[in-house]
Amino acid sequence: MAAKNRKPKLQPGADLDAAVELVRSRLGRSRPALAIILGSGFHGVSALVRAKASFDYGDVPSFPRTGVKGHSGRLVVGTIGDLPVLLLSGRAHYYEGYSMREIGFPVRVLAELGIRDLLVTNAAGGINRRFKVGDFMTLTDHINLMGANPLRPDRAGEWDGRFQDLSAVYDAELGALVKRAARAARVRLRSGVYLAVSGPSYETPAEIAAFGRLGADAVGMSTVPEVVTARHCGLRVAGLSLITNPAAGIGGGEITHTEVMETGQLAESAAQTLVAEFCRLYLTR
């Protein structure tokens, strides 16, 4: 079933249509089934893409711009290896002042363009004490403590009336591909539950202790808005975190964004190899 027939439009129709048509005009004959969202720690993956076209987020109608270091804010049409992909290099965040609905808008554009599967990446603090800095984690589930939901409309009367099931939010087949890719890339991959908070402050040790008791293995400030939106659009989702630091109260030191960025730079080669292997396996599955 075509993307336009399988989901409601929770965005102003003119803005969504304009964004879709702009990107579609540069796709040519390419019809990517996979899109990738690059979060903190994964910026180097953009070097894998043979770009056919590239758009600054500010040039795409209603795309939220990102002001966070390490998020370039570009939508790239191209290939990784022989696989056609759409790449979102960087993301906007709830803590930057955007609504959850605005953060989910790029995913709705991807769905309208025919994307079926989404790999979403992020940097996260490790709550599970077995996790080490530089480990990767495939998401098996998430806990939304951001205090909002991207499916809630901005005004009364705009809700489509559908309650979205999230009992299997992360796709098992795509998750298995991530694990196979990690083995091929020879990188250490954990599995676990990602907990999302609103930010921009980092968590307190007491909060991290509570999150651990709730069953969280890692914590971050992103990903959940895009994932929930993607499931509402009928997309399959795989999630991948880079553990950039021990969460508060676990590592004993001060947590800074500089530390997150430095770990991402050290893990750049591993992230590139892991995503490249995922794309290769996706193409030949």
3-state DSSP assignment of residue 189: strand
- Which phi and psi angles does 41 have, rounded to 5°? 90, -10
Active site residue 221: yes
Q: Which of 222, 230, 270, 271 is catalytic?
A: 222
CA distance 25 to 60: 12
Q: Is 71 a catalytic residue?
A: yes
**Rounded Cα–Cα distance for residues 125 and 241 (Å):** 9
Q: Among the options 18, 95, 191, 259, which is catalytic?
A: 95
Catalytic residue among 3, 40, 98, 182: 40
The residue from 43, 46, 96, 98 that is catalytic is 96
Helix (H, G, I), strand (E, B) or coil at 52: strand
Say whether 89 is catalytic. Answer: no
Residue 40 known to be catalytic: yes
CB atoms within 10 A of CB 147: 10
Nearest-angstrom CA–CA distance, 192 and 136: 10
- Active-site hit among 245, 247, 276, 282: 245
Whether 269 is catalytic is no
Is 96 a residue of the active site? yes
| Residue 222 bears catalytic tag | yes
In the residue annotation, 232 being an active-site residue is answered as: no
Distance of CA 146 to the CA centre of its chain: 15
Which residue type does 199 have?
G
Active-site residue, selected from the candidate residues 93, 218, 238, 271: 93
Catalytic residue, from 3, 137, 146, 221: name it.
221
Q: Which residues contact 41 (CB under 8 A, 6 or more apart)?
A: 70, 121, 122, 123, 242, 244, 260, 263, 264, 267, 271
Name the catalytic one among 71, 128, 182, 247.
Answer: 71
Distance separating alpha carbons of residues 104 and 109, to the nearest angstrom: 9
The DSSP secondary-structure symbol of 181 reads H
What span, in angstroms and rounded, lies between the C-alpha atoms of 87 and 39? 11
Given the residues 19, 92, 100, 123, select the one marked as catalytic.
123
Q: Which residues are catalytic?
A: 40, 71, 93, 95-96, 123, 221-222, 245, 257
